[in-house]
Structure 1
Amino acid sequence: MGQTLTKYVQSWIEPWIEYIVDIRMQQIMAKVKAEDISHWDTYEYEGVAMWPDVLPSTLDDLKTFEVRHDDVFIVTYPKAGTTWVQEIMSCVLHDGNIERISKRHTFKRVPFLEMTTGGAVHNDLPRVHKMISWMPRSSPRLIKSHLQAQLLPPQVWEKKVKLVYVIRNPKDVATSYFHHCQIMNPQRTLDWDEYFHRFHTGTVGFGKWWEHYLYFWERRNEDHILLLRFEDIKKDLRGTVQRISNFLGKSFSDDVIDDITDHCTFENMKKNPMTNPDTLLHKIFGEQEGRSFMRKGGVGDWKAHLSESQGKAIDDLCRDKLTSHGLTFN
């Protein structure tokens, strides 16, 4: 009787919490303007470059942030495949119930731990990490972060919660990150060469990509960490869905795996208003002709952007920082 009553209460409370969070997010979207946001300017926090909307006060708070034992994290360097993998994980954690998750945008289902969009300008906006604490305890929280490992809440490591990390060829990351900066800074004319210098020196938001990668690469064999390569996901999406399901302790029929796989193809996610971030970003930045948050989702597009010397510079950096650790890229 007691368990039945608890489940009933939880089933009533959870939709209300989701409704309140959605209302708060709508209030943010209505208040924040394009000029309030910058994914170009940075400041330094404990030696790591950060976007202004990753507030120092938030990063301070995360040092004592309560991580629940059943929390699940998706952590990546920006533009390494975050939106793609978080949608797979969301499907898995909802037991393949595509109809249910399609009622809420992925940005609302998977909160961005450290980000308060527009928070550097509007100090009265609700902090995402505080809203996360409202989420019901009846189901695991799926939390997204771009933070370097040492800036994640310490309890992530103390409690060894499940964490999926994605790496991608840094040349493709560089290319995708530049297009992201263009979308998030439509009021500016961005220079590729200036951007590339900042990417190469680690002074773009979230710092040095090689340090970000290396920490998780070195811990890839720990039971609570699943490390994925973007290129492998591209080659075998269904196999990736299966790996993530197994990692999260889920066992599905072939039909459910097929449904999740179909839902999470890049093409289907791009045209789905509940998975493409453009649905929400257009409310702030307006539509930008020829630009989309989900641009190509391919492998090797860097060849159309990086000069020969820029490609060599990243190759040299990989050899210097990563090769001795066994991490290489084609």
Structure 2
Amino acid sequence: MCYRDFKSKLINPRKFGLEAPIQRYGHPSPYGYEFARYFENVVKTSKNAGEAVQKLGYANASMIYHHLNRLGLEVPPHWGLKPSVGKQRRGLVPEVIDQTERDRAWVAALHQGEGCLATHYQRRSGETSLQLRVGMTDSAPIFRFCDSCGTGRPKRPTPRKIPWKPMWIGAVGGLRAYRVLQEILQFLSGQKLEEARRALEFFALDGYRKGRYEAYDIWPDDEFPLRKRSLASYARSIMAKNADLDFKDSTPLQLDRTCMRVADVLLDAIPDGLELAEIMDRSGASWTAVIHHLKHLEGNFLVAREKVHQKVGPRLLFRALHRLVEVRELGWIPNHLDSPAKV
């Protein structure tokens, strides 16, 4: 059979230097100038992707989404709306999630230490849902959390960069998360309690709210400083919130020689920060010792970490805060300590 037959020319006319027909299969050619307007009109007047497939004569909906992406059009929001299915699923959520007071106290304690509140935007429905997440390297508490909240267990941990271990993450969302938060509210304290109250006020009784909202829209940085990670946002708000602290009238910090050496290295690098490897080289301490003492200094609001994004990838820098300078002026950190032996 000759390749240059009539059927091959009909299927791919441009290959043989022919113009594509204006009308084919009942609609304009995808390569014609009239197709974009025609396709947009079909998409807008169709109830779902299946109806658009029937109008255009395609075999499946993959070509519909291909042309949407090619022409820069968005998927109509009413294609993903299934209110009846959403109501049925929310009706399956029990009124009481944690049956016993002991389970509620245990879930609250786990959320107080290892949990966080987040949001999830559903593009098809245009709604933002409440999410309660807990992450740990040990799978047993995560499995118990999922069983207590009535949600599925994670099948595998989430991998992280070396040297960090994989993390097991359990998540509860929507109406279930809203009811769990109501039940554990009495056991929470501190900023976790403030975050929970704000979430219960912001979201509707079903755990959803119309529109797109990020976490910072619900929990602003100036009101919830402990949610911050970077130096620019976290450190300034912490210092403002603890401006009444006076080191002169307080008990001296318990800093061993290695901790003082790490602090001295960071003070010498002001205003630039240092990476973990640079701190190890300048202090002479091991990786484990440096990590341990950096956490101790961060817990006392003396050091803050900052993630700097570059073309080659993000860098994690540690910088000394102004309070660390005050601690040195009080004589709690001697100047220019001798480098200790490798710990």
**More relative contact order, 1 or 2 (CA 8 Å, 6+ apart):** 1
Larger Rg belongs to: 2
**TM-score normalised to structure 1 length:** 0.23
